[in-house]
Amino acid sequence: MIKIGIVGGTGYTGVELLRLLAAHPDAELSLITSRSEAGLPVAEMFPNLRGHVDLAFSEPDPEALAACDLVFFATPNGVAMQSVPALLAAGVRVIDLAADFRLKDTGEWAQWYGQPHACPEVLAEAVYGLPEVNREAIRSARLIANPGCYPTAVQLGLLPLLEQGGIEPDRIIADCKSGVSGAGRKASVATLLCETSESFKAYAVPGHRHWPEIRQGLNTVADGVGLTFVPHLVPMLRGIHATLYATLTDAGADLQALFEQRYADEPFVDVLPAGSHPETRSVKGANTCRIAVHRPQDGDTVVILSVIDNLVKGAAGQAVQNMNIMFGLPEQAGLEGIALVP
Amino acid sequence: MIKIGIVGGTGYTGVELLRLLAAHPDAELSLITSRSEAGLPVAEMFPNLRGHVDLAFSEPDPEALAACDLVFFATPNGVAMQSVPALLAAGVRVIDLAADFRLKDTGEWAQWYGQPHACPEVLAEAVYGLPEVNREAIRSARLIANPGCYPTAVQLGLLPLLEQGGIEPDRIIADCKSGVSGAGRKASVATLLCETSESFKAYAVPGHRHWPEIRQGLNTVADGVGLTFVPHLVPMLRGIHATLYATLTDAGADLQALFEQRYADEPFVDVLPAGSHPETRSVKGANTCRIAVHRPQDGDTVVILSVIDNLVKGAAGQAVQNMNIMFGLPEQAGLEGIALVP
Amino acid sequence: MIKIGIVGGTGYTGVELLRLLAAHPDAELSLITSRSEAGLPVAEMFPNLRGHVDLAFSEPDPEALAACDLVFFATPNGVAMQSVPALLAAGVRVIDLAADFRLKDTGEWAQWYGQPHACPEVLAEAVYGLPEVNREAIRSARLIANPGCYPTAVQLGLLPLLEQGGIEPDRIIADCKSGVSGAGRKASVATLLCETSESFKAYAVPGHRHWPEIRQGLNTVADGVGLTFVPHLVPMLRGIHATLYATLTDAGADLQALFEQRYADEPFVDVLPAGSHPETRSVKGANTCRIAVHRPQDGDTVVILSVIDNLVKGAAGQAVQNMNIMFGLPEQAGLEGIALVP
Amino acid sequence: MIKIGIVGGTGYTGVELLRLLAAHPDAELSLITSRSEAGLPVAEMFPNLRGHVDLAFSEPDPEALAACDLVFFATPNGVAMQSVPALLAAGVRVIDLAADFRLKDTGEWAQWYGQPHACPEVLAEAVYGLPEVNREAIRSARLIANPGCYPTAVQLGLLPLLEQGGIEPDRIIADCKSGVSGAGRKASVATLLCETSESFKAYAVPGHRHWPEIRQGLNTVADGVGLTFVPHLVPMLRGIHATLYATLTDAGADLQALFEQRYADEPFVDVLPAGSHPETRSVKGANTCRIAVHRPQDGDTVVILSVIDNLVKGAAGQAVQNMNIMFGLPEQAGLEGIALVP
């Protein structure tokens, strides 16, 4: 059994991580910390966990965390980087579900997150935890930067063509839509039901923190990536739908075959039959990314549709997938839950 | 492995049964029939099952069904009773998720379902599959009438007090609320998103088929039950909330203790701490019934709150629970999924 | 033109009041105050008002308010009672949309609202603004206590029978359901979309502030009222549905005729044909209360269904209706908008 | 008073048209036909209209229609073109809310709508009813082709730049999102609440009937338009959000000024301040199109956000706007309703 600690965990990523780990055959949930909720039984905050998680939130305790095999950070941005160096030094492996270790360029990190990076040397060794790209590096990593939700959906949709030079890299459009859980569980007017239900809007068009993350990922496989990224808020709980547009370099390529081959051995990427339109609900609660590829009017614009559950493949599920890889477990362990429809 | 056939299965109860059985350690899904969809891969209709269910719908074939250990009927009312006698004669055990075997009185059945009952002799041996009441009979049953969704929530809420004579039986009120999936998956204007979203209404106040079913169940533990049952439609996918009102015979009774003791050994009934208000989402996708009991203003009116997922404990999950009991499996096998929150 | 001031107005009741007053033929919106938002154009907070409301929020200014003909308070409970005496002294008429003047008993008020009442002498003259009961008193009132949302739906549903002695008063049940806008527009985890969508729950079963208000109203027409009131939260924006249960004193009475006669001359109460089930969406955005009355199984339990839009007939619309009556305008002025369906 | 007939009207476009016309100062609703619902009072199908619309649906009667000043067709595609020539011959003016007269090329019409056009000669005189482009022609038109919902949002968003040559016309992307009411009010599994709620998907990526309509509109102001159009289904009732992408020909242009000038005199197009993100709810129930224009990262890709209510500016409201223009009424008559928020 892997002895696990969670730092944070009062948000939606946290409760989802608890749901997955509580049912994982090789995970032993050892402690979960929350300064604000110390003493509160986890299942009192999240009644769905009654009978499955007996822990209470506890005050952060470096010694207790240092006794874990693996610590997940499900904290706001900027928290993990304060504690990770000490944990690594104590021999603990770490998966950060926040953004502290996602951008390799500390200047860029500081610019987008509004503070200097606290541990550039640790940042350098962090592995970006997108298994479909970095599986080998993840195996031996001490520190995983778990990807953002939008970046997961967008990169998985674009990689097959971009890796092959199949699209022009300089004018990629990622029109993305997310359920409201992506905004987190904090008191806020903007994400009240009465502010978000029965409405649809774009946000952060001038600039969103996932833009440099996606661009960095795409730039590792192609030069000269130019990306326009527009996120939107969908009146639903879970789910991300990325609609991706690019210009094909070879309009005659067999796109369907290309995608199917790229992901043939991937347990969590499902390329749908030609002509499909994936629904976000088809992955609700599941660690799957479903993708379809289209070429409307047989033109040279490719349209790729990529859906994930932002809390699973876009957060907690991918974190568990990374854990499985790091600890030599079957990659699908604890992740075989089927999406809930309807 | 239990060899399983499903008749019907293109509705929401069907897809939920498939979701649960596909992950069940002792179930072997052998065939699923649908006259209208014969030939269609199940996962094409329900993409959440891609990679988990490889079957295609097939034409109903009595011989293939007769080769199963257990057949589930997830068909419209009135279908199962046509085929069940032959299956029982062939040694197959049956769980009917529809209403064909729920009412013991054939006259009453005919009145509420608009047709004479096709096999009264088989009806007589059917066991009403509410494990919290009939567990022993279920073990050896050949034919289970799986309870309706409202009747499950209402009976589990009322039984502790009614069994003990703790409430006056003649003026019970069950004000119930259900998500829209209870209405099934069929082309209909009434359950379009645009007819049901952002609205709330009562329906069938003059009379609903679950009224005689609930009354029959309550009458097995108390005489003279008088029940007013009002169902309402909630703009959400899943979940039933029963709000139950009755007059206490002893206003000084320890209601909390009474409920906790009644369900102490029940794996799927969770009595919440005093003062709680269960949310339907706390059981979304799970086979659990969560109950809270209140006595407002310390008066003699008891208010019981009982929630289930109508598709799980109210249908497919309870059917699998019955299967587990019938076949001597651990009662929780395949039913340990944790509710999805948010 | 009636010169109008609004105190508060950054909540959902406020924006609805602005929507109605902006289109009212006899209202001149003079100022709207908000300490926290002073200087912000109203239409920047509520873009639906762009082109219709040019005001900006201003600091509260007693002199400016004293120059109005009428001031609406759309503030949290406990605010209006601090300022109302001075306004009345200045000759301004006042409609309070909060609860400060709803309960006649100051002891009860203090108990439920957690503070002593600031102006009992003014409380004594306040008129409870339910026009269907108090129209004459409203005409000449200086101060209106605009009723709560639940109390409006419940009282309109119960009055016809209770006034006539048609039901036993001592065991009335009001099972009520409200959309989330009833909880107001303030930063809060509990009313996030991710906490309320796709779920249903009861709340405040041990006691809710609308319980004494409803009881007070019912006691003005019948002695010995015993009321159990259970509110529930519905995953939708607007709407209240009250399901009311009582025991008939004369099971043979013509309930339909009784209700139709009671409300024959009421412009905003619509008694539906026998057998109907009102939907909350049928009053979305409208000042109408729609009611249906049922006697299931021809028994002695009456079931009354009463729906309103909590922000209109349950708040801002009723306030405008009171304004119309107070100022001798046609009662329907500015309130003829048709509900938005779908 | 303009004497008005409606053909069809049992769908969402129909009920919205009734809501608007019932409150219109110059419209006299004379008859509404529906073969399937003849005899049914309109307010029985749509209870929100109780007290506002007294008509019952009637059998289609050419003579009664010929006695109208104006007939609206709110029928399925292919119906209006059967009756319009006779009505025009009788001196009746016609507004078709369906697609029969939207495409000028009969070959293209036949290709997309699966049948030959019934009256090409009438088609030739039909005026495309987008007032922001064709106001003068609308004034004197006998027959208006009321634009589709997506085409309205997309064209209003693109016209300012396209008219000025400000974007390259050959690689325009319109990523559009619509509420479910766009799919109409007909018995169908695909638009059940349980199929569309809590999910998001693209549809018709290979080709949608609004693609040729948009392209035709754009081609009237620019040569060589190349358009990729991807519609998506949003789990909400009303609203369209178009996110439009194109390459600027002059990255230094003052986009904000360009948009504000283009629509300075338009009563129903509202250009938001720079940096804004319009929400669909800000136009819920209103005839307004709200637009914002962005240039992310100061690059050469422009992102235009355009929202409408698909049933109002995207259908019934625009039809009433066209009526107002045709009959010399104030263009805003009957269309000043403020959007309902929340």
Reported as a pLDDT band with limits 50, 70 and 90, residue B170 is very high
What rounded mean pLDDT belongs to chain B?
97
Contacts of C210 in chain B (CB under 8 A): none
Chain D residue at shortest CA distance from A244: D175
The edge-to-edge listing of strands for the beta sheet with D269-271 is D201-202, D227-233, D172-178, D240-247, D301-308, D289-294, D269-271
Q: How far apart are CA B273 and CA B278, in angstroms?
A: 10
Alpha-carbon distance values, B297 to C212, C246, D105 (Å): 11, 19, 73
Q: Is D207 within 8 Å of chain A by CB?
A: yes
Contacts of B84 (CB under 8 A, 6+ apart): B73, B94, B96, B100, B101, B119, B122, B143
**Contact between C200 and B232 using a beta-carbon 8 Å cutoff:** no
Interchain contact C342–A (C-beta under 8 A): no
**Stretch A235-248: mean pLDDT:** 98
Reference D225, options D233, D210, D214, D241; nearest CA is D214
Orientation angle between helical segments C12-22 and C317-326, nearest 10 degrees: 50
Tokens of B275: 């003062």
- For A157-211, the pLDDT digits (tens) are 999 999 999 999 999 999 999 999 999 999 999 999 999 999 999 999 999 999 9
Could you give the C-alpha distances from D287 to D24, D213, D315, in angstroms and in order?
14, 21, 9
Place of tokens 């036949």: D110
Query: Which CATH architecture group holds B149-310?
Result: 2-Layer Sandwich (3.30)
Q: Region D217-237: what's the mean pLDDT?
A: 97
Alpha-carbon distance of D131 to A100, in angstroms, equals: 51
D38 touches chain C (CB under 8 A): no
CB-based contact (8 Å) between B39 and chain C?
no
Residue of C37, C194, C199, C311 best to disrupt the A interface, most CBs of A under 10 A: C194
Q: CATH: 3.40.640.10, 3.40.50.720, 1.10.10.2120, 3.90.950.20. Which one for D2-125?
A: 3.40.50.720
- Tally of CA atoms within 13 A in the half-sphere of B180 that contains its CB: 31
CA of C295: which chain B residue's CA is closest?
A: B206
What are the residue ranges of helices labelled H in C116-237?
120-125, 131-140, 149-163, 193-196, 210-219
B223 and chain D in contact, CB less than 8 A: no
Mutual angle of helices A131-139 and A317-326, in 10-degree steps: 40
- CB B236: neighbour CB atoms within 10 A? 27
Contacts of C198 in chain D (CB under 8 A): 198
Q: CB distance from B12 to chain A under 8 Å?
A: yes
Q: Which two tokens stand for residue B101?
A: 């075997």
Asked if A192 and C180 come within 8 Å (Cβ–Cβ), the reply is yes
Contact criterion met (CB < 8 Å) for B340 and A49: no
B338 has a chain D CB within 8 A of its CB: no
- On average, the pLDDT of chain A sits at 97
CB distance A16 to A316 below 8 Å = yes
CA dist list (Å): D100 to A249, D77, D112, D115, D118? 38, 6, 11, 11, 9
Percent of chain A residues past pLDDT 90, beyond the cut:
99
At B161, list the tokens: 């007090």
Q: Which residues of C are less than 8 Å from A194 in CB distance?
A: 12, 180-181, 185, 191, 237
pLDDT at A149: 98
pLDDT digits (tens, 9 = 90+) for B16-50: 999 999 999 999 999 999 999 999 999 999 999 99
Beta carbons of C267 and B196 less than 8 angstroms apart: no
Q: How far is D174 from chain C (nearest CA, A)?
A: 24
Q: Which residues from B are below 8 Å from C200, CB to CB?
A: 177, 179, 234, 236, 239, 241, 279-280, 307
Nearest CA among B322, B311, D19, B50 for reference residue A286: B50
H/E element, D89: helix D80-89
Would you call A120 an interface residue with chain D, using a CB distance cutoff of 8 Å? no
Rg of chain A over CA atoms, in angstroms? 19
A247 at interface of D, judged by CB pairs closer than 8 A: yes
Structural contact between residues C148 and C176, judged by C-beta atoms closer than 8 angstroms: no
pLDDT band per the 50, 70, 90 thresholds, residue B115? very high
Portion of chain B with pLDDT greater than 70, in percent: 100
Q: Round to whole Å and give the CA distance between B315 and B326.
A: 16
What chain C residue is nearest to B301 in terms of C-alpha separation? C228
Residue D309 token pair: 């209510």
**CA separation for the pair A261, A265 (Å, rounded):** 8
Q: A342, A180, A309: which is closest to D190 by C-alpha?
A: A342
Note the pLDDT of residue B251: 85
Q: How far is B323 from chain D (nearest CA, A)?
A: 27
Closest chain B C-alpha to C169 CA, distance in angstroms: 14
Distance, CA of C272 to CA of C291 (rounded, Å):
6
Nearest to C285 among D12, D238, D340 (CB): D340
Residues of D whose CB is below 8 A from C51: 270, 288
**Higher pLDDT residue, A307 or C9?**
A307
Question: Per the structure block, which two tokens stand in for C308?
Answer: 């309103």
Instruction: Convert the pLDDT of each residue in C25-37 to its tens digit.
Output: 999 999 999 999 9
Secondary structure (3-state) at C169 = coil
pLDDT tens-digit map of D238-260: 999 999 999 999 989 999 999 99
CA C169, chain centre distance (Å): 23
Cα separation, D179 vs D191, whole angstroms: 11
Q: In what order do the strands lie in the sheet with C269-271?
A: C201-202, C227-233, C172-178, C240-247, C301-308, C289-294, C269-271
Shortest distance between the Cα of D156 and any Cα of chain C, in A, equals 19
Work out the mean pLDDT of chain C and round it to a whole number.
97
Once rounded to an integer, what is the mean pLDDT over residues C194-202? 98
C220 to chain A, minimum CA–CA distance in Å? 35
A124 exposure class (CB count in 10 Å sphere: 0-12, 13-18, 19+): exposed
Which chains border D (3 or more CB–CB pairs < 8 Å)?
A, B, C
pLDDT tens digits for range B280-308: 999 999 999 999 999 999 999 999 999 99
The pLDDT of residue A103: 98
CA distance B41 to A273: 13
Q: Where are the domains of chain C?
A: 2-125, 149-310
Asked whether the beta carbons of residue D50 and residue C278 sit closer than 8 angstroms, the reply is no
Q: Test B193 with D197 for CB contact under 8 angstroms.
A: yes
- Whether C323 contacts C332, CB under 8 Å: no
DSSP H stretches of helix in B181-335: 193-196, 210-219, 255-262, 317-326
For tokens 């030599």, the residue is: A328
Contact of D204 with A245, CB cutoff 8 Å: no
Residues whose CB falls within 8 Å of the CB of residue C305, separated by 6 or more in sequence, listed in order: B201, B202, B205, C157, C241, C242, C243, C244, C277, C278, C291, C292, C293, C294
Under the banding of pLDDT at 50, 70 and 90, the label for residue D99 is: very high
Percent of chain D at pLDDT exceeding 90:
99
The average pLDDT across D329-340 equals 98
Q: Looking at beta carbons, which residues of chain D come within 8 Å of C341? A: 15, 19, 46, 48
Collect all residues of chain C within an 8 Å Cβ-Cβ radius of residue B241: 200-202, 232
With cut-offs at 50, 70 and 90, classify the pLDDT of residue C251: confident
What distance in Å separates the CA atoms of residue C116 and residue C46, rounded to the nearest whole number?
Answer: 35
| A23 → closest Cβ in B51, B238, B338 | B338
Beta strand ranges found along C35-167 (DSSP E): 57-58, 70-74, 93-96, 127-128, 143-145
Please tell me if residue B181 touches chain D, with a CB cutoff of 8 Å: yes
Which one of B50, B270, B288 makes the best mutation probe of the A interface by having the most chain A beta carbons within 10 Å?
A: B50
Confidence of residue D49 (pLDDT cuts 50, 70, 90): very high
What lies within 8 Å, CB to CB, of D157 at 6+ separation is D242, D244, D291, D304, D305, D306
Active site residue D149: yes
Q: Is B342–A278 a contact, with Cβ atoms under 8 angstroms apart?
A: no
Cross-chain Cβ contact D236/B197 below 8 Å: yes
Quote the CA–CA distance of A181 and C252 in Å, as a whole number.
Answer: 53
pLDDT attached to residue A279: 98
The reply to whether residue A188 touches residue C186, judged by beta carbons under 8 angstroms, is no
Would you call D238 and C23 a contact, using CB atoms and an 8 Å cutoff?
Answer: no
pLDDT at D251: 85
Give the integer Cα–Cα distance in Å for D242 and D308.
9
Are D332 and D320 within 8 A, CB to CB? no
Q: What strand order describes the sheet that includes A269-271?
A: A201-202, A227-233, A172-178, A240-247, A301-308, A289-294, A269-271
Query: For chains C and D, what is the number of CB pairs under 8 angstroms?
Result: 78
The two structure tokens encoding residue B237: 């996918």
Q: Roughly how many angstroms between the first and final C-alpha of chain C, as a whole number?
A: 34
pLDDT digits (tens, 9 = 90+) for A91-103: 999 999 999 999 9
**C239 closest CA partner among C12, C77, C14, C47:** C12
Indicate which residue of B68, B119, B149, B289 is catalytic: B149
Q: Compute the radius of gyration of chain D from its Cα atoms.
A: 20
In this structure, how many other beta carbons lie within 10 angstroms of the beta carbon of residue C125? Answer: 11
Angstroms from B236 CA to nearest CA on chain C: 5
